[in-house]
Chains A and B, each alone.
Chain A
Amino acid sequence: MRYPLFAGAFALACTMSAAAYSHVTLEAQQAVAGSTYKAIFRVPHACGESPTIRIRVQIPDGVTAVLPQPKAGWQLATVKAKLATPLSDGHGGQITEGVREVTWSGGKLQHDHYDEFVLRAALPDAPNTTIYFPVVQDCEQGANRWIEIPEPGKTTADYKQPAPLLRLLPKP
């Protein structure tokens, strides 16, 4: 009886050790430009002790074909808007509208728990650049805004609440 208990604790502890990050970040922080990318937003903590109740992700310019992954216990919503620059749909037409914002709300993520939020999207064909996915984490009390985009010459490490970043690599 004692063994399963410890085994459980062991398993739990190992899972948690994997989550030893402080910011909301993307799991894979580099991807090939122009490819289809699965963005996994990792949410390791809340606002102080107040649980997270909503995650909002802003889709950067050039990221298209956004498909957010529904999540049990959370309502999914998207905000569509006109694109700054219309894109070719690859079949002679134009895409003028796209998802600019994805929101998961209605759930409750305690401050001492961890969760992930997922969407799939097509990345812009702009190798050797970095794009940022600003995230607003709303809690029952307060909010964390992971929206700081580094100025030239600085890195996300210089900021308190940097936006999750993704480096676009050249095609192999």
Chain B
Amino acid sequence: MRILIVLLGWLVLCAPPREAQAHAVLIDTLPRDGQVLATAPSSLQLRFNERVTPIVIALRSQQGAVIPDLRTEAVDTLLTVALPAGLADGFYVLSYRATSADSHPVTGSTTFVVGAGAKPDLAAPVTDHDRPWRWLSAANRLVLLSTAMIAGGGLLFLCVFGAVPVHRGLRRLLRGSALAATATAILGIGLQGCLLMGDDSSLLDMQAWRVGLQSTRGVALLVAAACMTAILVGLSPVAKSLRVIVSLLGLGGFAATFALSGHAATGAVSWLGQPVVVIHVALAAAWLGSFVPLLVCLRRDGSAAVLMQDFSALALPAVAVLIAAGATLGLLRVPSFASLLSTGYGQTLLLKVALVTATLGLAAINRFVLVPRLLRNPSGIRQLRVSVRAELALSLLVLAATVWLSQSVPPGMEPSSPEPESEAAGDGYSLDVPVRGNTMTLSVRPGRPGIVNTITVTFTDSAGATIPLKEAEMELSMPELGIEPLRRPMTQTSPGTFVYRGRDLALEGGWTVRIRALVNDFELLTGGAELHVH
């Protein structure tokens, strides 16, 4: 018997627990990571492959608040965290720090969402949650584009053909347009915020405006509003020189906003796309904006025919440049003839080209048939009026097609998911991080907390070539808040490009991102960066 006791003593002394052979590993959780629950769970379970001792267990809400009164119980390999009653709807992150028997720390985080019913956007597929805002935002763009072009182009027309006695009604109409454009641009900032935040947001919510202003589109809209205010000044009775300066600045500034955000800013070859889009928009405004003053002048007889002739002489080269710029942009966005027919973007572009061709046809009739006829016989003015009116209507349709284009995604710019639209309005930013002679490019779109963010990573070597990768995974953590790493696999969208889409960046602030990318079975590239979402 004594021998037995001695042997037992030895056993205790020389045998650490069996688990000491390995790190502890989290096997699964209940609710599982990222699960959307109709009602708040009463407890959360973490199952490990071995017994662990919890050190810190912390639950945070989307607002970053620590949820107090967690009770943690460890039974064998299972950690059960009792959650307080009455958790509000929203996103939660539970971070754990525990030690396994070999005293190695095991850390990580798991997320869940409460309130599938109350907040459908959290549970719904990523694509649909902003649909109403998408329509409103598109309508806003169309109104802004047409009013701004009518006001800005109209003012430019008045500057160029200043000899024409300016009709008071015309000036009032242009001023109304400029005012409407200013208001539409400002409203657009809020709409952009709502679009980014999803459908439970509201224009009455200051947060929406803040989010809107922080996006590149919001900044572009703010600039547009300022330009339209300048146009408004130019339409008041001011000195001619001031009017000319203000019209050029206002129109040029408005056109420049198209280089700030949208496809020209984010697409390939932006160094070419950005200046070309500015020229394209400015000339389009000059052309479209002249229809209204022309119509007003055509209402009165007198010098209309001479004016039309002068206008045509200027318009012809301008329209030629406008078309050339448009064609350049089209070639930049649509790389092949096949994608012109097969993609939604290409088809919309074809529609726009058809509408432009019709407008040009009318313009040619005006220029070569109706204006010469008017010069011979003043009674031809009615036909010309009808024709210019039709030209105006057609060019407004061209604008509608343009807005539609800006809402669809050009070939080659599709995000990874099957729902491309959800990204179209997203902006964000990217970082280049040196990684052992290579460069890791990490981008986040739209970079706002609490909504779906798309994180993309690529590695390029010193020669600038993309490094093909086998697989990649990402760890997201917030060390200051004690949020331990959330481990997320990334999916490959094209050779060397890996993407993760999810709501994990739910809390505002700086997230530490670590990427582990496998080049081949034995070679790993790792890189870290800080992503800020607010």
Contact = CB atoms under 8 A, between A and B. Distances in A.
Interface of A: 2-3, 6-7, 9-10, 13-14, 16-17, 19-22, 44-45, 48-49, 56, 58, 101, 111-112, 114, 134, 136, 145, 147-149, 151
B4 A3 contact: yes
B301 interface: no
Contacts of A114: 21
Contacts of A149: 524
Nearest to B25: A48
B8 interface: yes
A10 B14 CA distance: 8
A125 to B, nearest CB: 24
Contacts of A22: 21-23, 102, 104
B21 A136 contact: no
A112 to B, nearest CB: 6
B3 interface: yes
B22 A16 contact: no
Nearest to B104: A22
A3 B3 contact: yes
A13 B104 CA distance: 21
B524 A147 contact: yes
6 A-B pairs closest in CB distance: A13-B15, A45-B22, A134-B522, A58-B522, A20-B20, A48-B25
27 contacts: A6-B8, A7-B7, A10-B10, A10-B14, A13-B14, A16-B15, A17-B16, A17-B20, A20-B16, A22-B21, A22-B23, A22-B102, A45-B22, A45-B23, A48-B25, A49-B49, A101-B522, A111-B49, A112-B21, A134-B522, A136-B522, A145-B518, A145-B522, A145-B524, A147-B522, A147-B523, A148-B524
B240 interface: no
A58 B518 CA distance: 15
B300 interface: no
B343 interface: no
A14 B15 contact: yes
Interface in B200-235: none
B11 interface: yes
B436 interface: yes
Given A48-B25, A134-B522, A16 B49 contact: no
Interface string B1-33: 001100110110011101011110101000000
A48 B100 CA distance: 13
Contacts of B10: 10
A136 B524 CA distance: 12
A96 to B, nearest CB: 21
Nearest to B436: A151
A44 B21 contact: yes
B309 interface: no
Contacts of B23: 22, 45
B480 interface: no
B484 to A, nearest CB: 13
Given A2-B4, A48-B49, A136-B522, A14 B14 contact: yes
B17 to A, nearest CB: 10
A71 to B, nearest CB: 20
Nearest to B475: A160
B11 A6 contact: yes
Nearest to A7: B7
B526 interface: yes
- Interface core residue of A2, A13, A44, A111 (most chain B CB under 10 Å): A13
Contacts of B3: 3
Interface string B56-82: 000000000000000000000000000
B521 A136 contact: yes
Contacts of A19: 21
- Interface core residue of B10, B11, B22, B524 (most chain A CB under 10 Å): B22
Given A49-B27, A111-B49, A13 B11 contact: yes
Nearest to A19: B21
Contact of A17 (B4, B15, B436): B15
Interface string B101-113: 0101000000000
Interface string B91-102: 000000000001
A101 B520 CA distance: 13
Contacts of B526: 148
B21 A16 contact: yes
B13 to A, nearest CB: 9
A19 to B, nearest CB: 5
Contacts of B524: 145, 147-149
A48 B21 contact: no
A147 B519 CA distance: 11
- Interface core residue of B16, B23, B521 (most chain A CB under 10 Å): B521
B7 A16 contact: no
Contacts of B20: 17, 20
A56 B7 contact: no
- Interface core residue of B8, B10, B49 (most chain A CB under 10 Å): B49
A166 to B, nearest CB: 16
Given A6-B8, A49-B49, A101-B522, 7 more contacts: A6-B7, A13-B11, A14-B14, A48-B27, A112-B21, A134-B522, A136-B522
B476 to A, nearest CB: 16
A151 B104 CA distance: 22
A2 B523 CA distance: 52
Interface string B32-67: 000000000000000001000000000000000000
B357 to A, nearest CB: 58
Nearest to B28: A48
B104 A16 contact: no
Contacts of A151: 436
B522 A10 contact: no
Contact of B21 (A3, A9, A20): A20
Contacts of A13: 11, 14-15
Interface in B510-524: 518, 521-524
A142 to B, nearest CB: 10
A26 to B, nearest CB: 16
Contacts of B523: 134, 147
